[in-house]
Amino acid sequence: MASVITTRKLASFSLALAMSAVSVAAMADVMVGGAPMLASKDIIDNAVNSKDHTTLVAAVKAAGLVDTLKSPGPFTVFAPVNAAFAALPAGTVDTLLKPENKGMLTTVLTYHVVAGKWDAAALSKMIMDGKGMATIKTVSGGTLTAKASGAKVMLTDEKGGTATVTIADVYQSNGVIHVIDKVLLPK
């Protein structure tokens, strides 16, 4: 039993150390989708330059969330790449982008947003404090479950889908973005 606890503590410490190293390195401008993400710009002004986030940006515009994500925040955004949207069942994105589905689109998008600035070190601490798991309340009112997998953070949505943070700590003037490889879906 003692060796299991020691192993968990060592794993947690290793995760915290790795995430802290990523956080310090990420304070410099990060490249996402072929464009520098400038910490002096807000979430929207950076996201529009990422070639990997054109679907997300189109969805944010269609949902009328641009002004919200340009406000002071701070916000933590788990930002799915274009490939994540493309992996949804055929027609899902087109259906969500229709004006009559604006409410549903807004719910899906705000499910990827958390109030506050939760960088990798803060997420790692939450996971360690939760003995390997953290529950995160989203702006939509739903929850995400965060767990560590090696030096990566995995997010599980309310439907059981899992996304991996592929680029952590993309600092913005009004928060932080973590790039993810799947679209998270609320109940």
- pLDDT (tens digit, 9 = 90+) per residue, 112-124? 999 999 999 999 9
pLDDT at 53 over 70: yes
pLDDT at 179 over 80: yes
> The whole model's pTM is what?
0.83
Least confident of 1-5, 14-18, 39-43, 89-93: 14-18
Q: At 53, phi and psi to the nearest 5?
A: -125, 25
Least confident of 102-106, 148-152, 162-166, 171-175: 148-152
Of 72, 36, 176, nearest in space to 119 by CA: 176
pLDDT at 187 over 60: yes
pLDDT at 5 over 70: no
C-alpha distances out from residue 185 to 36, 69, 101, 144, Å: 28, 20, 15, 9
Per DSSP, which regions of 9-128 are E strands?
30-32, 35-37, 75-80, 113-115
